[in-house]
Structure 1
Amino acid sequence: MDSVTKDEKEETQASATMSKKQLRRQQRQEKWLSIKADVRAKEKQRKKRKRREALERGDVMAPTRKKLRTNTMAKSSCKTSVVIDCSLDSYMGEKDITKLVKQIQFCYSSNRRAQNPMQFHVTGVHGQTKARLESIGDYQNWDVNFTSKDYHEVFEKENIVYLSSESENTLQELDPNKAYIIGGLVDHNHHKGLCHSLAIEKGVGHARLPISEFLDMKTRKVLTINHVFDILLKYTEMKNWSQAFCSVIPQRKGAHVKQDVESSSQTDKQESETSSQTDKQESETSSQTDILLQESETRSKSGTQEYETSPQTGTQDCESSSQTGTQECEFSSQTDIQECESSSQTGTQEYETSS
Structure 2
Amino acid sequence: MEAGLAAGPEAASEAGAASEAEAAVVAEALRLLRIEPSAAGDPSRNALRKRRRWLRVLAARRGKRRQERQRRRARGPAEPVPPSLRRGRVPAALATERLLEARAAGPRLCVDLGVGGSMTEKESGRLASQIRRLYGANRRAARPFWLCLTEFAAGTPIYEQCFRMNDGFAGYLVRVWCGIGGELSPVLCILFRISQLLLLSLSQILQDINPDKVYVLGGLVDESIHKELTLRRAREQCLQTARLPIREYMVKAPNSRNYHSETLAINQVFDVLSTYYETQSWPAALRAGVSSGKGYVLPDTAEQVETPQCATAAQENSLFCGEELQRQEAPA
1:208 maps onto 2:243 in alignment = yes
Report the aligned-residue RMSD.
2.2
The alignment partner of 1:108 has SS state of: helix
User: For residue 224 of structure 1, what is the aligned residue in structure 2?
Assistant: 265
1:190 maps onto 2:231 in alignment = no
Q: Which moved more, 1:248-257 or 1:227-236?
A: 248-257
Structure 2 unmatched runs, 5+: 1-85, 180-186, 254-259, 301-332
CA distance in 1, matches of 2:149, 2:234: 17
**Among residues 39, 59, 63, which one is paired with 2:89 in the alignment?**
63
**Among residues 95, 109, 113, which one is paired with 2:122 in the alignment?**
95
Confirm or deny: 8 A CA contact 2:198 2:213 kept in the other structure: yes
How many residue pairs get aligned? The number is 198
CA distance in 1, matches of 2:130, 2:209: 22
User: For residue 135 of structure 2, what is the aligned residue in structure 1?
Assistant: 108
CA distance in 2, matches of 1:78, 1:112: 16
Q: Which amino acid aligns with 2:164?
A: S
CA distance in 1, matches of 2:299, 2:262: 15
Q: Which moved more, 1:102-111 or 1:87-96?
A: 87-96
Confirm or deny: 8 A CA contact 1:68 1:112 kept in the other structure: no
CA distance in 2, matches of 1:138, 1:227: 22
Q: Which amino acid aligns with 2:237?
A: K
1:232 is displaced (CA, Å) by 0.6
Q: Counterparts in 2 of 1:36-75, with a 5 A limit?
A: 62-67=88-93, 69-75=95-101
CA distance in 2, matches of 1:251, 1:89: 26
CA distance in 2, matches of 1:80, 1:245: 19
Determine which structure has greater relative contact order: mean sequence separation of CA pairs < 8 Å that are 6+ residues apart, divided by chain length: 2
TM-score of the pair, normalised by structure 2: 0.55
CA distance in 2, matches of 1:183, 1:148: 16
Q: Which structure features the higher share of helix residues?
A: 1
**Among residues 175, 181, 205, which one is paired with 2:216 in the alignment?**
181
Q: Which amino acid aligns with 1:256?
A: V
Q: Which amino acid aligns with 2:221?
A: V
TM-score of the pair, normalised by structure 1: 0.52
Q: Which amino acid aligns with 1:196?
A: L
Q: Which amino acid aligns with 1:104?
A: I
Confirm or deny: 8 A CA contact 1:72 1:143 kept in the other structure: no
CA distance in 2, matches of 1:151, 1:236: 23
> Structure 2 vs 1, CA of residues 75 and 158 (structure 1 numbering), >3 Å: closer, same or farther?
closer
CA distance in 2, matches of 1:144, 1:105: 12
Percentage of pairs with the same residue: 28
CA distance in 1, matches of 2:189, 2:96: 30
CA distance in 2, matches of 1:159, 1:196: 17
Measured against aligned partners, the alpha-carbon deviations of 1:290-313 in whole angstroms (never above 9, x if no partner) come to xxxxxxxxxxxxxxxxxxxxxxxx
User: For residue 248 of structure 1, what is the aligned residue in structure 2?
Assistant: 289
Confirm or deny: 8 A CA contact 1:86 1:124 kept in the other structure: yes
User: For residue 52 of structure 1, what is the aligned residue in structure 2?
Assistant: none
Q: Which amino acid aligns with 1:145?
A: R
> Structure 2 vs 1, CA of residues 181 and 116 (structure 1 numbering), >3 Å: closer, same or farther?
same
1:243 is displaced (CA, Å) by 1.0
1:80 is displaced (CA, Å) by 1.1
> Structure 2 vs 1, CA of residues 200 and 227 (structure 1 numbering), >3 Å: closer, same or farther?
same
1:138 is displaced (CA, Å) by 4.3
1:146 is displaced (CA, Å) by 1.7
1:64 is displaced (CA, Å) by 4.5
**Among residues 151, 172, 177, which one is paired with 1:147 in the alignment?**
177
The alignment partner of 2:217 has SS state of: strand
Confirm or deny: 8 A CA contact 2:205 2:243 kept in the other structure: yes
The alignment partner of 1:221 has SS state of: coil
